[in-house]
Chain A
């Protein structure tokens, strides 16, 4: 199976209906010895920046997240679980305001029908207090879990304001990976790109190369991340990296202009560039990504 293929091909293979978009290879058959891999799907949400105030880029900042929640709830097939890849809230210097935003964000998330949600921090949530407030609401900033034969690893590359994963977490990652077969399907969730996407815009992880080096011996690895507020697809060797859209404002294409200023709101096309994705796992055939927009309805 090629590394990337269209979701229509995926759905045809899977015997399902028509769809759109993109897919990523991840053809391993077992996460751990004796654990068969099975079909499932999950949803990725990212970068809602709850608390952001900027009418020029999103005059509907106070409703956009709730709209996305309603649209996830309206999916015909509800996901097995949901991942939220960071920047849940917009940064603030005030620790009490940070907690207020996290509390309000969590209350909106409580409206999701599916309550198996794996949260990751973004630098806006965690960099100013090294993840302290985030952990009060959502627990550890890095962890792993297994689902239907796929091993998921959530990495924190934001609690260090200098965007390092750090030696301690790298050692934890090595131990976590050591327990896996080399052909086990692995999904890495993180906020920042693990490769140098646009260092001049701080779109990188300072020791991301050490993470990728640890992942390289594993044959079936896919990375889902946020931070850059747009879809982006990149390969480092056999490892696919997929960036997600935001739920607050889009950002320009990597390095396409001198400054990474948010894309202005277009009243003729409200919510353009915002959305979430469904990620479908088909054992032996990889992942299919299905992008959904946020609508004003």
Chain B
């Protein structure tokens, strides 16, 4: 089997297992995101419509912001703490997010996308 296919298959299985766990009363899927100068890691986050997730942001260097204007999601990310953003996507699409706390030369390019699949 092609290695990429295997990895894709595993990822899909994990998503399915996570969704089943939630349906059975399990915890929402946690998605860690690191906000560094001047990038979010990862900067593209894919979730499924209706899947409860918690975005867990950390900022190891300086205070950062997370803001997804179209979704009304926002958090201040302070070094030393985890900023948790619970979210259950209710529509399919690709939504921009950005750092909205000025963090230095490169701040203007610090952004990413939330991708919601059917």
Contact = CB atoms under 8 A, between A and B. Distances in A.
Given A161-B63, A162-B65, A259-B111, A202 B100 contact: yes
Contacts of B98: 200-202
A128 B104 contact: yes
B44 interface: no
B56 interface: no
Contacts of B109: 259, 261
B90 interface: no
A260 interface: yes
B31 interface: no
Given A161-B63, A259-B109, A200 B69 contact: yes
A230 interface: no
Contacts of A158: 102
Given A161-B63, A199-B67, A199-B69, A90 B105 contact: yes
A163 B104 contact: no
A133 interface: no
Interface of A: 90-93, 123, 127-128, 158, 161-163, 199-202, 206, 258-261
A162 B76 CA distance: 9
B99 to A, nearest CB: 8
A161 B69 contact: no
A90 B108 CA distance: 12
A161 B98 CA distance: 14
Contacts of A260: 108
Contacts, number: 42
B15 interface: no
Given A162-B76, A163-B102, A200-B70, 17 more contacts: A91-B104, A91-B105, A91-B107, A93-B104, A93-B105, A127-B102, A128-B102, A128-B104, A161-B63, A162-B100, A163-B100, A200-B69, A200-B96, A202-B99, A202-B100, A258-B96, A259-B109
Interface string B84-115: 00000000000010111111110111010000
A161 B67 contact: no
18 contacts: A91-B102, A91-B104, A93-B104, A93-B105, A128-B104, A161-B101, A161-B103, A163-B100, A200-B69, A200-B70, A200-B96, A202-B98, A202-B99, A202-B108, A259-B109, A259-B111, A260-B108, A261-B109
- The SS class assigned to the A binding surface is loop
A220 B94 CA distance: 41
Interface in B55-78: 63, 65, 67, 69-70, 76
Shortest beta-carbon contacts, A-B, top 8? A127-B102, A199-B69, A161-B102, A123-B102, A200-B96, A161-B101, A162-B101, A91-B105
Contacts of B111: 259
Contacts of A200: 69-70, 96, 98
Nearest to A206: B100
B38 to A, nearest CB: 11
A259 B110 CA distance: 10
B112 to A, nearest CB: 11
Contacts of B105: 90-93
Contacts of A91: 102, 104-105, 107
B107 to A, nearest CB: 8
B79 to A, nearest CB: 13
Nearest to A201: B98
Contacts of A93: 104-105
Contacts of B63: 161
